[in-house]
Chains A and B, each alone.
Chain A
Amino acid sequence: MIPRNCDVAVIGGGPAGSSAAALLAQQGHDVVLLEKARHPRNVVGESVIPHFWRYADRIGITEAILGEKFLSKSGGTVAWDGHVRQMSFRDFGFTRSGMHVERDRFDQLFLNHARNSGARVFEEVVVDSPTRLDESGGDLPYRSLLDGTSGSLSARYVIDASGQASCIARARSQRQIDPDFRFTSIWGYFNGGQYVAEGGQIHPVEDLRQVWPSTFVSSIGRTGWSWHIPLRSSTSVGLVLPLESLKDMGVQGQQMEKFFLEQCRSLPYLKNLLRQADYVPGSMRAIRDYSFRVDSAAGPGYFLIGDAGGFIDPIFSLGVVLAVFSATAAAWLVGRCFKRPDRASSYQAFYSELTARRLNLARALALPLPSAEMGNLDELRDLMHFHSNEEQELFQVVSLLTNRSSNFQEIAGCATVPDSLHCTEIDKLHWA
């Protein structure tokens, strides 16, 4: 039975919601998490960078994730406008690897962790727009998809972790599509085939446990690109293309799967990697206009975390890390708001500002075209200084991998520019 009251209500049980619920329950708060789907459920975003572990440790989920033995990855390989470049996390002082994860399983581990930490989790429950949200908390109307019953949950704080749905921002018309990032992504899964590893070596998927994969990204046209992410038993392949170009080609509805497969069989690098691979029938999915920002990521009675607080672009695999970072920060700050209600508005303002700057930094890294508007450069430079030298170098390298770097170099101009960047130019991929 869903209770009527709680300290903290969390909308959505992706990595962000489950992490915040776990942390707040561990602090001794009464937490209720409502999730629309039933886990394991599908979601995109399978490449996880090693920054993840810092937050995993705080959340207490490291052991469960390691125990699952997801595939480790060594770094990233990018074929952009004819240049093939590669980076390894090892070169940036990371002692723990990145991962390629099946998100249905990964997210289920997070939800289990929230439960085990003492949060009360209810699946197949949809939250509608809050009927009240103010300094003293919020009221969330909900419907159960299991038995059709409905009710309302009152909480002293509401954490919106509803992902792209971004329930609270949407209800307040504060979810704004980013005009510089209007893309559609189409992805699907393949069995068999080959993958890219260190040194540009190509291996059959049977080698995955012995030789770590590198996440492979290649450019398509002026602003599009594709990803190739080998998982334990299949490979995730995705296209990111300007909304307009798909519209112009008349690709929609039924034709999408056909178009996706044609692209996978004809794009320069993908077609070779997938030559001996079989498409998993019916595995294609698509999402459009996923880049948006919100006016303010926190306010009286609420914090928005993970994608619900804004999402920019998947190119550098920052999504899951920003989800667990924002969950950790918001959980801490909600705890502070309970302890120091007189300071609540400062904590909310601080969180909003921090989130906005993080998103702006991610945005500057990912901007597809040099001319686009970048926001306050000084603020971005300030945020850069909160990162270690190695991390700043990593930012520079990833910005160099794609030709999306010119914007970012403008920010980095003021930060430390290392003499030799850890980024290898490879002549070509070495096909087996």
Chain B
Amino acid sequence: MTSELDRTLNRILEWIREEAASPEIVIEADTNLLAGELLDSMGFIQLISFIEDEFDVCLDSGLLIPANFETPGRIAGLVRRHAAAGNEGGVPS
């Protein structure tokens, strides 16, 4: 399971580094995305789209709760929780 989480985190980090942040900014698992100008509302909308396509999950609940998006690490956790719920057949995707 840890490796799933790592893989998710790496893909999210890659996306943020490529699409959202300027090259000189270092993005790690615990970088606070909300404090600086890293991700604005549009950045979040695009990140959510990326996550849906990439991991085949629906993030309906918790989308507008900033704490869920504070760091790449937290986002990866959110994605894995949703994916797990989906696998149990609870949430249709």
Q: Are A346 and B58 in contact (CB under 8 A)?
A: yes
Q: Which of A329, A354, A386 contacts B66 (CB 8 A)?
A: A386
Residue B60 at the chain A interface, CB threshold 8 Å: yes
Q: Report B20 CB to chain A, min CB distance, Å.
A: 12
In the complex the two chains form, what is the Cα distance from A346 to B63 in whole Å?
11
Q: Which residues 377-421 in A have Cβ within 8 Å of B in the complex?
A: 379, 382-383, 385-386, 388-390
Q: Report A345 CB to chain B, min CB distance, Å.
A: 10
Given A332-B45, A340-B52, A389-B35, A54–B40 Cβ distance below 8 Å? yes
Q: Are B64 and A353 in contact (CB under 8 A)?
A: yes
Q: Are A388 and B35 in contact (CB under 8 A)?
A: yes
Q: Are B41 and A329 in contact (CB under 8 A)?
A: yes
Residue B65 at the chain A interface, CB threshold 8 Å: yes
Chain B residues near A328 (CB-CB < 8 A): 42
Q: Which of B42, B66, B67 contacts A332 (CB 8 A)?
A: B42
Q: How many B residues have CB within 8 A of the partner chain?
A: 19
Q: Which residues 329-361 in A have Cβ within 8 Å of B in the complex?
A: 329, 332-333, 336, 340, 343, 346, 349-350, 353-354, 357
In the complex the two chains form, what is the Cα distance from A108 to B87 in whole Å?
51
Residue A58 at the chain B interface, CB threshold 8 Å: yes
Q: Which residues 282-339 in A have Cβ within 8 Å of B in the complex?
A: 325, 328-329, 332-333, 336
Q: Are A386 and B34 in contact (CB under 8 A)?
A: yes
Chain B residues near A58 (CB-CB < 8 A): 42
Chain A residues near B65 (CB-CB < 8 A): 382
What is the 8 Å Cβ interface bit string for chain B, positions 44-62, against chain A (1 contact, 0 not)? 1110010010000010100
Chain B residues near A353 (CB-CB < 8 A): 64
Q: How many A residues have CB within 8 A of the partner chain?
A: 26
Residue B30 at the chain A interface, CB threshold 8 Å: no
Q: Are B42 and A385 in contact (CB under 8 A)?
A: no
Q: Are A333 and B45 in contact (CB under 8 A)?
A: yes
Chain A residues near B67 (CB-CB < 8 A): 385
Q: Which residues 14-41 in B have Cβ within 8 Å of A in the complex?
A: 34-37, 40-41
Given A382-B64, A386-B66, A343–B34 Cβ distance below 8 Å? no
Q: Report B89 CB to chain A, min CB distance, Å.
A: 17
Given A332-B42, A340-B52, A386-B41, A346–B64 Cβ distance below 8 Å? no
Chain A residues near B40 (CB-CB < 8 A): 54, 386
In the complex the two chains form, what is the Cα distance from A198 to B30 in whole Å?
40
In the complex the two chains form, what is the Cα distance from A349 to B45 in whole Å?
13
In the complex the two chains form, what is the Cα distance from A230 to B13 in whole Å?
46
In the complex the two chains form, what is the Cα distance from A55 to B41 in whole Å?
11
Given A350-B63, A388-B35, A389-B35, A343–B52 Cβ distance below 8 Å? yes
B69 — nearest CB in chain A belongs to which residue?
Answer: A386
Q: Are A332 and B41 in contact (CB under 8 A)?
A: no
Q: Are B58 and A343 in contact (CB under 8 A)?
A: yes
Chain B residues near A343 (CB-CB < 8 A): 52, 58
Q: Are B49 and A336 in contact (CB under 8 A)?
A: yes
B38 — nearest CB in chain A belongs to which residue?
Answer: A388
Q: Report A334 CB to chain B, min CB distance, Å.
A: 12
Q: Report B60 CB to chain A, min CB distance, Å.
A: 5
Given A340-B52, A346-B60, A385–B66 Cβ distance below 8 Å? yes
Q: Report B35 CB to chain A, min CB distance, Å.
A: 6
Query: Can you list 16 A-B contacts (CB < 8 A)?
Result: A54-B40, A58-B42, A325-B41, A325-B42, A328-B42, A329-B41, A329-B45, A332-B45, A343-B52, A354-B41, A357-B64, A382-B64, A385-B66, A386-B34, A386-B41, A389-B35
